[in-house]
């Protein structure tokens, strides 16, 4: 945030405070927006009751006060109090005293607190929730002005509890004021979520009551809330757009219902807020839009003598001039801002500090170093005044605290009662500490037990997963072991049974060749012998594929090489490469790797239509890799998995048995590449 925008913000923070200082006056006015004439006419009417006259006098007195007739307002409120004291029902007295207390507080009269206490005392004799809600609102209002924000919040919430879901228009108007006050307090605490919450509640309540003044005020509150949220989080432009929307809505509400809005200060403040939004968060191209609202703020600010607004207008105009390097215009606007700041009944010293500092910097830009030095001297003087003022305020606060303590000392009871009370307090404190410590231990025990239960649950789930995994592996192991045992048995049967039979047949037929026979018979025998030789070779090849003896005796490397060599002799263009294999893989796993290689090579021969096949076995430390590649036509991996072919399933099952991973890459241009990784 740049310096020129910081100045603008310091000025525009004031509208909220000023609007909320006077927002309670809307409760004094009729919901239909009648002004002085209608109130005076109602007061002169002979058909109104005394209680109605008291309420009307309170509203009219407030109207006088805020329209330049302070003496008439004070007189009318005093008469209303005197009239209310004659009634048996003290609820009207309580309300009128609350109004009078707020008026006295604005004037700085020290009797305001006493009037409020009198109003609270009257509530004991009244059951009217509306009256109680209003008096508690007045209590919170005064506590907020005395910077007792925690106490004020409690009072405002108590007031809302009395009002509940009221449908009475005057009560709804006061509820809007309560929401505005809570919004202001949470704004001072920087709690933006609660700011938005109470601004929205206030707007909803104001729309329900139909009071345009409250609607405009709460729309402004929502606008400023979204502006603050965007100021702290620039990543979400919806905050800025929402601020612009509600600023425009508030200005539109005031413009449309101008004759029903009592404080003339709302329009210039709202226009200044929107102009400042454009100045701070929008590019320079929005200058004309900002200027349109600055003109409204300036015109209405001068008209209603809101010189704080006028000061802010010239401050923003100065910042635009600085951004465009128009230093003479910037200096002129700053001087105008200084002039109107001094025209306030109570010139804001902090604002004067900003103005003087800005004037010094502009003078530096103009290379008017003499004036810059003079402004800096003035700045130091104002700074010292501000420091002394804060120091004086701290001293007065300490004096007030000291005098309060002295008064409290006079009210202390006898020493025995004090000692007795201290003992009781000590017992209560010890008892409270005991309960507190016990609660802490209970909480810690509960928390520890919860953590222990969660950990046991996680361990249980992990154990279940391990059992499932081990079960899956055992099934695969049993499946593969059974297959291998069966293949071994078949290999032995073929070799010992069929092989022996065929060998015997060969011997018998070989003996028959020496007998005198016809030539055709001899030829037939020779052909038979040839076929038997082929059958024996085929039997040996099958037996070797079912359970190669070379794998059992010499390991996986020799078995792979011999298998590829046998295929090469049969006309298959295949290459076998083995790198760094140390033969430290268990026999069962060697057999599984061998079967995977067989399956992949057989698939390449049968389906891939490849011209060359590469088989590579590689060991790196404790990991083994098997790679089978071909330059064939490839296949659709997804489609193959959907069809759930037994070949691919067997390969994947064997990879799971090895605790390994299988990666298949296939395309028509490059063929198929299959890589198996497994731990030794």
DSSP code string of 351-418: HHHHHHHHHHHHHHHTT-HHHHHHHHHHHHHHHHHHHHHHHHHHHHHHHHHHHHHHHHHHT---HHHH
Under 8 Å between Cβ of 35 and 67: no
Mean pLDDT of the chain: 79
Percent of the chain with pLDDT over 70: 76
**pLDDT reported for residue 517:** 60
Task: Kindly tell me if the per-residue pLDDT of 435 is higher than 50.
Answer: yes
| Between 54 and 325, the higher pLDDT residue | 325
pLDDT-wise least confident of 16-25, 245-254, 264-273, 434-443: 16-25
Q: What is the mean pLDDT of residues 192-207?
A: 89
CA distance 387 to 204: 43
| Between 512 and 344, the higher pLDDT residue | 344
Of the ranges 125-134, 288-297, 514-523, 565-574, the best mean pLDDT one? 288-297
Question: What pairs with residue 666 in β-bridges?
Answer: 672
Give the pLDDT band (50/70/90) at residue 463: confident
Percent of the chain with pLDDT over 90: 19
Give the pLDDT band (50/70/90) at residue 41: low
**pLDDT reported for residue 48:** 65
Give the pLDDT band (50/70/90) at residue 505: low
Under 8 Å between Cβ of 629 and 673: yes
pTM of the model: 0.49
pLDDT tens, residue by residue, 347-369: 777 788 888 888 889 888 888 88
Query: How far apart, in Å, do the first and last CA atoms of the chain sit?
Result: 62
Task: Kindly tell me if the per-residue pLDDT of 320 is higher than 90.
Answer: yes
Q: State whether residue 675 is helix, strand or coil.
A: strand
Task: Kindly tell me if the per-residue pLDDT of 149 is higher than 60.
Answer: yes
Radius of gyration of the chain (CA): 48
**pLDDT reported for residue 282:** 92
CA distance 418 to 308: 53
**pLDDT reported for residue 292:** 93
CA distance 578 to 612: 17
**pLDDT reported for residue 584:** 85
**pLDDT reported for residue 407:** 45
CA distance 327 to 311: 18
Q: Which two tokens stand for residue 645?
A: 């072919």
Task: Kindly tell me if the per-residue pLDDT of 257 is higher than 90.
Answer: no
pLDDT tens, residue by residue, 546-589: 667 778 788 888 889 988 988 888 888 999 999 999 888 888 88
pLDDT-wise least confident of 240-254, 375-389, 550-564, 619-633: 375-389
Task: Kindly tell me if the per-residue pLDDT of 370 is higher than 90.
Answer: no
| Between 130 and 41, the higher pLDDT residue | 130
**pLDDT reported for residue 36:** 57
């Amino acid at each position: 945030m740049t310096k020129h925008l910081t100045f603008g913000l310091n000025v525009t923070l004031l509208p909220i405070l000023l609007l909320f200082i006077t927002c309670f006056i809307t409760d004094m006015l009729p919901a239909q927006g009648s002004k002085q004439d209608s109130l005076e006419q109602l007061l002169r009417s002979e058909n109104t009751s005394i209680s109605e006259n008291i309420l009307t006098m309170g509203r009219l007195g407030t109207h006088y006060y805020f329209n330049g007739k302070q003496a008439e307002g004070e007189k009318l409120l005093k008469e209303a109090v005197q009239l209310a004291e004659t009634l048996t029902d003290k609820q009207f007295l309580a309300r009128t005293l609350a109004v009078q207390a707020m008026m006295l507080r604005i004037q700085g009269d020290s009797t305001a607190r006493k009037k409020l206490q009198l109003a609270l005392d009257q509530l004991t004799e009244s059951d009217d929730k509306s009256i109680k809600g209003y008096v508690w609102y007045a209590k919170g209002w005064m506590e907020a002005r005395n910077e007792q924000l925690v106490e004020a919040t409690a009072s405002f919430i108590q007031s809302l509890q009395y009002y509940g879901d009221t449908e009475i228009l005057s009560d709804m108007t006061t509820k809007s004021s309560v929401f505005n006050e809570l919004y202001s307090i949470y704004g001072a605490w920087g709690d933006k979520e609660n700011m938005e919450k109470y601004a929205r509640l206030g707007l909803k309540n104001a729309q329900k009551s139909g009071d345009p003044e409250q609607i405009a005020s709460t729309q402004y509150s929502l606008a400023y809330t979204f502006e603050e949220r965007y100021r702290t989080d620039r990543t979400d432009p919806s905050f800025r757009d929402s601020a612009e929307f509600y600023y425009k809505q508030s200005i539109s509400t005031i413009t449309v219902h101008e004759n029903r809005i009592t404080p003339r200060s709302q329009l210039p403040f709202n226009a200044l807020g929107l102009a400042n939004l454009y100045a701070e968060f929008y590019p320079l191209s929005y200058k004309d839009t900002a200027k349109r609202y600055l003109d409204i703020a300036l015109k209405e600010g001068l008209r209603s003598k809101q010189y704080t607004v006028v000061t802010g207008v010239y401050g923003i105009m100065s910042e635009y001039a600085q951004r465009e390097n128009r230093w003479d215009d910037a200096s002129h606007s700053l001087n105008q801002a200084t002039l109107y700041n001094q025209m306030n009944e109570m010139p804001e010293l902090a604002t004067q500090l900003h103005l003087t500092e800005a004037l010094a910097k502009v003078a530096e830009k103009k290379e008017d170093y003499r004036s810059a030095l003079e402004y800096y001297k003035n700045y130091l003087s104002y700074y010292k005044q501000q420091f002394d003022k804060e120091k004086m305020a701290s001293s007065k606060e300490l004096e007030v605290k000291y005098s309060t303590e002295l008064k409290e000392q006079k009210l202390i009871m006898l020493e025995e009662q004090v000692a007795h009370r201290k003992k009781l307090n000590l017992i209560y404190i010890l008892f409270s500490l005991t309960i507190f410590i016990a609660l802490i231990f209970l909480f810690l025990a509960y928390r520890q037990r919860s953590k222990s239960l969660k950990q046991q649950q996680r361990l249980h789930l992990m154990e279940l997963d391990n059992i499932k995994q081990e079960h899956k592996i055992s099934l695969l192991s049993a499946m593969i072991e059974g297959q291998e045992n069966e293949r071994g048995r078949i290999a032995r049967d073929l070799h010992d049974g069929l092989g022996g039979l065929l060998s015997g047949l060969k011997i018998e037929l070989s003996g028959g060749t020496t007998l005198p026979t016809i030539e055709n018979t001899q030829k037939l025998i020779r052909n038979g012998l040839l076929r038997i030789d082929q059958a024996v070779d085929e039997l040996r090849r099958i037996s070797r594929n079912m359970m190669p003896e070379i794998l059992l005796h010499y390991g996986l490397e020799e078995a792979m090489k011999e298998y590829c060599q046998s295929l090469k002799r049969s006309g298959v263009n295949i290459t076998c490469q083995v790198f760094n294999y140390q033969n430290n893989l268990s026999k069962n796993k060697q057999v599984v790797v061998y079967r995977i290689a067989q399956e992949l090579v057989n698939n390449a021969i049968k389906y891939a239509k490849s011209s060359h096949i590469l088989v590579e076995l590689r060991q790196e430390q404790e990991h083994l890799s098997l790679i089978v590649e071909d330059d064939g036509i490839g296949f659709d991996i997804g489609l193959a998995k959907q069809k759930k072919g037994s070949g691919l399933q067997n390969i994947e099952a064997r990879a799971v048995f090895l605790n390994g991973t299988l990666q298949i890459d296939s395309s028509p241009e490059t063929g198929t590449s299959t890589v198996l990784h497994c731990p030794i």
